[in-house]
Every structure is written in structure tokens, then in C-alpha cells.
């Protein structure tokens, strides 16, 4: 059975380092409702000022150099802290949920074609169910992001053309 344990260490300043036994693109899918709940928890964490510590994620890649990702900016730390409190970042499922949440936020900011598939309001976020399903299930890339063109192709199969206008 492959090793699925994530080792976590804390330094003297409270920063956390995670040794992850697999690359980001092999992390499991999550449930769409869990992703939406994590979004809500992150908003609540930000409102409460729970910014969380910096985190460094070190993904093992067999014999290749590991992939190292930093969760260092205040907003990303807050979102990671919220997911950690609810889903435990020291598990592959919790880590997958966190990285999918961060990848979704990131791709929504850079992929203009997604503009009609979500609405962020003071009360929360409304995500089109197809976008939520895609973010919950499509693989992350080696940098733990969503490939925008793959996302576009995936979404275009299940949405009317006017959704991308």
C-alpha cells in the first residue's frame, strides 16, 4: 500500500511545513458541497480575523525534485486555516479541499470566460453548479492550479453557449 501520510512540522515562529507523499495533480477529488462549505468557512474565518500561519507544502515526485508551494499571503493563509480547522490539512482529503478552493479562487480571477458562472456578493458567493462540480473533480496541475483551457473545455460540454458570451 502506498504511503499516504502527510508529515507536519512547526518551526520556532509558528510556520508549518507539510511533507506530502504525492504531487498535487494526484490529489483526490472532493465533493462539491464540501468545496462550497469550505468557501463559507473561509469567509467566516476572514471575518473573525483568523489568518493562520504561513505554510510550506513539499510534494514528493518519486525520484524528481519535489514541488514546493508556499501559502504565505494573508488571504491564502486565512483560507488554508479555515480548511485546516474543518478538514485537517494533514490528510490528503483536507489538503485536496484546500488546494482546490485556492485554485478555484485563483482561476476565477484570471479566466475571463468564467465571469458569467459566479457572483461574489457581500452575502457570499453564488457558483454555477457546473463550475463547482468541475472545481471539485478536475485534476490540479503540477503547480496546484486549474488549467484554464481544460476547465473551459470541460465546462463547455455541459453549458449553453451563451454562458461563455
Please state, in angstroms and rounded to a whole number, the distance separating the CA atoms of residues 141 and 69.
Answer: 13
**What is residue 2's predicted lDDT score, i.e. its pLDDT?**
57
pTM of the model: 0.90
**What is residue 1's predicted lDDT score, i.e. its pLDDT?**
41
In a domain, 1, yes or no: no
Ranges of residues in the chain whose predicted pLDDT is under 50: 1, 160-165
Instruction: Enumerate the H helices of 88-125 as residue ranges.
Output: 92-110
In a domain, 128, yes or no: yes
Please state, in angstroms and rounded to a whole number, the distance separating the CA atoms of residues 42 and 23.
Answer: 24
Please state, in angstroms and rounded to a whole number, the distance separating the CA atoms of residues 57 and 6.
Answer: 10
* Residue 14 dihedral angles phi and psi, to the nearest 5°: 90, 0
**What is residue 162's predicted lDDT score, i.e. its pLDDT?**
45
**What is residue 158's predicted lDDT score, i.e. its pLDDT?**
59
Collapsing DSSP to helix, strand or coil, 97 comes out as helix
In a domain, 73, yes or no: yes
In a domain, 88, yes or no: yes
In a domain, 29, yes or no: yes
**What is residue 112's predicted lDDT score, i.e. its pLDDT?**
94
In a domain, 42, yes or no: yes
If one counts the domains in the chain, the total is 1
**What is residue 125's predicted lDDT score, i.e. its pLDDT?**
83
In a domain, 55, yes or no: yes
Question: What range defines the domain where residue 66 resides?
Answer: 7-164
Strand stretches in the chain, DSSP E? 7-10, 16-20, 55-61, 64-71, 118-121, 124-127
* Residue 28 dihedral angles phi and psi, to the nearest 5°: -70, 160
**What is residue 92's predicted lDDT score, i.e. its pLDDT?**
96
In a domain, 19, yes or no: yes
Amino acid at each position: 500500500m502506498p504511503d499516504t501520510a502527510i508529515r507536519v512540522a512547526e518551526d520556532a515562529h509558528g510556520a508549518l511545513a507539510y511533507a506530502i507523499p504525492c504531487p498535487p495533480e494526484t490529489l483526490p477529488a472532493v465533493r462539491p458541497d464540501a468545496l462550497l462549505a469550505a468557501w463559507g468557512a473561509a469567509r467566516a474565518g476572514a471575518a473573525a480575523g483568523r489568518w493562520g500561519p504561513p505554510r510550506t507544502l513539499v510534494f514528493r515526485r518519486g525520484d524528481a525534485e519535489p514541488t514546493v508551494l508556499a501559502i504565505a499571503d494573508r488571504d491564502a493563509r486565512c483560507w488554508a486555516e479555515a480548511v485546516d480547522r474543518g478538514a485537517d490539512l494533514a490528510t490528503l482529503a483536507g489538503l485536496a479541499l484546500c488546494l482546490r478552493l485556492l485554485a478555484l479562487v485563483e482561476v476565477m480571477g484570471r479566466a475571463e470566460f468564467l465571469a458569467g458562472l459566479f457572483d461574489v456578493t457581500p452575502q457570499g458567493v453564488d457558483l454555477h453548479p457546473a463550475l463547482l462540480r468541475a472545481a471539485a473533480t478536475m485534476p490540479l496541475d503540477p503547480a496546484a492550479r486549474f488549467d484554464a483551457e481544460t476547465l473551459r473545455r470541460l465546462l463547455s460540454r455541459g453549458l449553453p453557449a451563451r454562458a461563455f458570451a
